[in-house]
Chains A and B, each alone.
Chain A
Amino acid sequence: MPTTPQLSPQEEQEKLLEEALNVVRTQAFQMKRCLDKGRLMDGLKHASTMLGELRTSLLSPKSYYECYMAISDELRHLEMYLVDEFQKGRKVADLYELVQYAGNIVPRLYLLITVGTVYIKSNELSRKDILKDLVEMCRGVQHPLRGLFLRNYLLQCTKNVLPDAVEDQSTENSGGQSGTVMDSVDFIQLNFAEMNKLWVRMQHQGHSRDRERRENERRELRILVGTNLVRLSQLECIDIDKFKQSVLPGVLEQVVNCKDAIAQEYLMECVIQVFPDDFHLQSLSSFLRACAELHPNVNVKNIIIALIDRLASFAQNEEGSGIPSEIQLFDIFSQQISQVIQNRPDMPPEDIVSLQVALINLALKCYPDKVDYVDKVLETTEDIFNRLNLDHVEHGSPVSKELMRLMKIPVDTYNNILTVLELQHFGPLFEYFDYKGRQLMSCHIINNALENETMIPAQENVDAILNIVNCMVQDQNDQPEEPDDPEDFAEEQGLMGRFIHLLQSEDPNQQFLILNTARKHFGAGGDKRIKFTLPPIVFAAYRLAIRYKQLSDEDENWEKKCQKIFQFCHQTIGALIKAEQAEIPLRLFLQGSLVAGQIGFENSETVAYEFLSQAFSIYEDEISDSKAQLAAITLIIGTLEQMSCFGEENQEPLFTQCALAASKLLKKPDQCRGVSVSSHLFWSGFSQAKDGEFHDGKRVSDCLKKGVKIANQCMDSSVQVQLFVEVLNHYIFFFEKGCEQISVQVLNQIISKIRELLPNLESNEETEQINKHFKNTLEHLQLKLDNAETAEQYSGLVL
Chain B
Amino acid sequence: MSFFGFGQSAEISIALDGQENRRTAEIKTEDGKREKYYLYFDGETVSGNVNIALKKKGSKLEHQGIKIEFIGQIELYYDRGNHHEFTSLVKELVRPGELTHDANLNFEFSQVEKPYESYTGANVRLRYFLRVTIVKRLSDVVKEQDIVVHTLSQYPELNSSIKMEVGIEDCLHIEFEYNKSKYHLKDVIVGKIYFLLVRIKIKHMELQVIKRETTGTGPNTFNENETIAKYEIMDGAPVRGESIPIRLFLSGYELTPTMKDINKKFSVRYYLNLVLVDEEERRYFKQQEITIFRRADKVRKNYQAALSHHNPSLLSDGGGSGKSQYQNTEEADTKEKEDDEVNNEEDAK
Contact = CB atoms under 8 A, between A and B. Distances in A.
Interface of A: 55, 94, 96-97, 100-101, 103-106, 108, 125, 129-130, 133, 136-137, 139-144, 146-147, 197, 201, 205
14 contacts: A94-B306, A97-B249, A97-B306, A104-B232, A105-B233, A105-B235, A129-B307, A140-B233, A140-B234, A141-B235, A141-B236, A143-B235, A144-B236, A197-B239
Interface string B202-221: 00100000000000000000
Nearest to A197: B239
Contacts of A106: 235
Contacts of A136: 245, 309
Interface residues of B, number: 25
Contacts of A205: 237
B190 to A, nearest CB: 11
Contacts of B234: 105, 140-142
A101 B306 CA distance: 11
Contacts of B239: 142, 197, 201
Counting chain B CB atoms within 10 Å of each CB, the highest count among A125, A137, A142 belongs to A142
A142 B232 CA distance: 12
Contacts of B238: 142
A97 B188 CA distance: 10
A104 to B, nearest CB: 5
Interface of B: 204, 229-239, 242-245, 247, 249, 252, 303-307, 309
A143 B237 contact: yes
A96 B306 contact: yes
Contacts of A97: 249, 303, 305-306
A133 B307 contact: yes
A321 to B, nearest CB: 45
B242 A142 contact: yes
Nearest to B201: A205
B306 A140 contact: no
Nearest to B248: A100
Contacts of A139: 242-245
A394 B234 CA distance: 58
B244 A140 contact: yes
Contact of A100 (B229, B230, B242, B247): B247
B8 to A, nearest CB: 53
Contacts of B309: 133, 136
B116 to A, nearest CB: 29
A147 B305 CA distance: 25
B244 A142 contact: yes
Contacts of B237: 142-143, 205
Nearest to A104: B232
Contacts of B232: 103-105, 108, 140
Contact of A55 (B230, B233, B235): B235
A106 B234 CA distance: 9
Question: Which 3 pairs across A and B sit closest by C-beta, in order of nearness?
Answer: A143-B236, A142-B236, A133-B307
Contact of A142 (B235, B247, B249, B304): B235
A103 B231 contact: yes
B244 A130 contact: no
Nearest to B242: A142
Nearest to A205: B237
A23 B243 CA distance: 33
Contacts of A96: 303, 306-307
A139 B252 CA distance: 22
Contacts of A104: 232
A3 B77 CA distance: 56
A137 B242 contact: no
A125 B303 contact: yes
A140 B245 contact: yes
A173 to B, nearest CB: 15
Contacts of A100: 247, 249, 306
Contacts of B306: 94, 96-97, 100
Tell which of A94, A97, A147 has the most Cβ of chain B within 10 Å.
A97
A400 B242 CA distance: 49
Nearest to B247: A100
Contacts of B304: 129
Contacts of B305: 97
B194 to A, nearest CB: 11
A246 B248 CA distance: 34
B252 A147 contact: no
Given A55-B235, A139-B244, A141-B235, 9 more contacts: A94-B306, A103-B230, A103-B232, A129-B304, A129-B307, A136-B309, A142-B238, A142-B244, A143-B236
Contacts of B242: 139, 142
A99 to B, nearest CB: 10
